[in-house]
Structure 1
Amino acid sequence: MSLVAIRKTQLSIETILHERGPAAATPLRVGTALAVVANPYAGRYEPDLLPFMQALRELGRDLSRQLADALGGAASVEAYGKGAIVGEDGELEHGAVWHEAGGWAMREVLGERKAIVPAAKTIGHAGTRLMIPLGHTQAAFVRSHFGVAEMTLWDAPRRDEILFGLAMATGGRVHARLGGLAARDVQGRDGLR
């Protein structure tokens, strides 16, 4: 029996034309791909979470592919992040399994990007909102690409579920103008610069 029992998924794309300034020449697109999964460890302590993490890898790949395709393909993605909301009968560590399963899946689908995948996780109830932090996919120091994507579903997670999410964006903030390393100057060697 699989450890990954999916109740529902959601794919959402937001298009940002401006942030009260001039319209962007190319609108920013920010997307999320979410999956509601039964928590196999709800209500109990499980010392070995690695089988669950490994079983989630394929879900990570599937969500990554769907999201990248919806944003125009891997070459269009410049920022990413991941998140998890664990239902109240679980523990925060149950959401932490997504760091490897979701993060490495995105890097694989996007072509082995170098920068760390920013993450957020929490314990919550149905309708909990979590802001997934976004960062540049090749260089963590690209300040213009620090952003967020909201993950929420009105009926998830239930007490015995986990809501896993991935987020991607086609660029940085529409009106970014605070200096720092520019995306065009990224060397992409160490994941930082």
Structure 2
Amino acid sequence: MIVRKIVTVVEEILTEGGRAVSPAARVAIVAAVIENPWAGQGFVEDLSSGIEDNASPLGELLAPKVIEALGAEAQAYGKAAIVGLNGEIEHGSGLIHTLKFGDHFRKAANATTLLPAVEKRGPAGIVFDIPLKHITDATIRSHHQTVEVRIADAPHPDEIVIALAAAAQGRPQQRLAPLTTEQ
């Protein structure tokens, strides 16, 4: 795995809807910009060796960093794979849609649910949204949220951005009724 850089972003929302948010709503994102392990190979029928070599090390690298950046226990989380223009969306999906990757984050966050994800292909500087869900119950509406990310110089055409995001709470000022009220 060749990592060009790691980007960490921490967002704190102090007011929402004209009212103070206390404590501040924190979201952390940690992204690794890596060389696409399948770059320059044309169509690769079997992605398993690249997944085996890279997915677990990526999860092991990013999971503790996002929890550390958050500075609190994670209550919501998500993941992303943004593939450069010379790659396939399947390349990013292969790296993040495996327990070899996701279990590192689940363990670090004391989570049990599947990680919501975004995968897309695009040029350097593309904006992408990482969806977040509650770490133990994906039906908890207050924790359904997204965080917008942009890395100005990534991904290069033969790179992939792999990112994890965690929130220390649900949406600021959330006030939707629980899903159970509609069942």
Shared fold per TM-score greater than 0.5: yes
Cα deviation, 1:27-80, whole Å, max 9, x if unaligned, reads 11001000111112124111221222222212212211011012125xx11000
Kept in 2, the 8 Å contact 1:81–1:132? The answer is yes
**Does the 8 Å contact 1:31/1:149 carry over to 2?**
no
**Residue of structure 1 equivalent to 2:65:** 66
Paired position in structure 2 for 1:22: 19
The 5-angstrom pairing of residues 144-183 of structure 1 reads 144-180=142-178
Structure 2, unaligned runs of 5 or more: none
Q: Does 1:133 align with 2:131?
A: yes
Structure 1 segments (4+ residues) deviating >6 Å: none
Native 8 Å contact 1:12 1:31 kept in 2: yes
Give the CA deviation at 1:21: 3.1
Sequence identity of aligned pairs in percent? 39
Following TM superposition, by how much is the alpha carbon of 1:181 offset from its aligned partner in structure 2, in angstroms?
5.1
- Give the TM-score, by structure 1 length: 0.86
Bigger mean CA deviation after superposition, 57-66 or 157-166: 57-66
Q: Would you say the 8 A contact 2:38–2:50 is kept in 1?
A: no
Task: Note the C-alpha offset of 1:22.
Answer: 1.5
Give the length in aligned residue pairs: 176
Assess if the C-alpha contact under 8 Å between 1:102 and 1:166 holds in 2: no
Q: Which residue, 6, 13, 17 being the options, matches 2:10?
A: 13
Match of 2:106 in 1: 107
Name structure 1 gaps, 5 residues minimum. 183-193
Query: 1:17, 1:128 → 2: CA distance?
Result: 27
What is the rounded CA distance, in whole Å, between the counterparts of 2:165 and 2:151 in structure 1? 14
In structure 1, distance between residues paired with 2:50 and 2:11? 31
The 2-side partners of 1:150 and 1:105 are apart by 23
Three-state SS of the structure 2 residue aligned to 1:42 is coil
Tell whether the 8 Å contact from 2:10 to 2:27 is kept in structure 1 after alignment.
yes
Partners of 2:19 and 2:45 in 1: CA distance:
53
Q: Which residue is equivalent to 1:56?
A: 55
Alpha-carbon distance in structure 1 between the residues aligned to 2:108 and 2:50: 21
Root mean square deviation of aligned Cα:
1.5
Aligned match of 2:141: 143
What's the secondary structure of 1:24's corresponding residue?
Answer: strand
TM-score (norm 2): 0.90
3-state SS in 2 of match to 1:18: strand
Do the aligned residues in 1 keep the contact of 2:79 with 2:117 (CA within 8 Å)?
Answer: yes
- Whether contact under 8 Å (2:118, 2:129) holds in the other structure is yes
Distance in 1 (CA, whole Å) between partners of 2:67 and 2:3 is 20
Aligned to 1:10, the other structure's residue is in SS state strand
Tell me the residue number matched to 1:79. Answer: 76
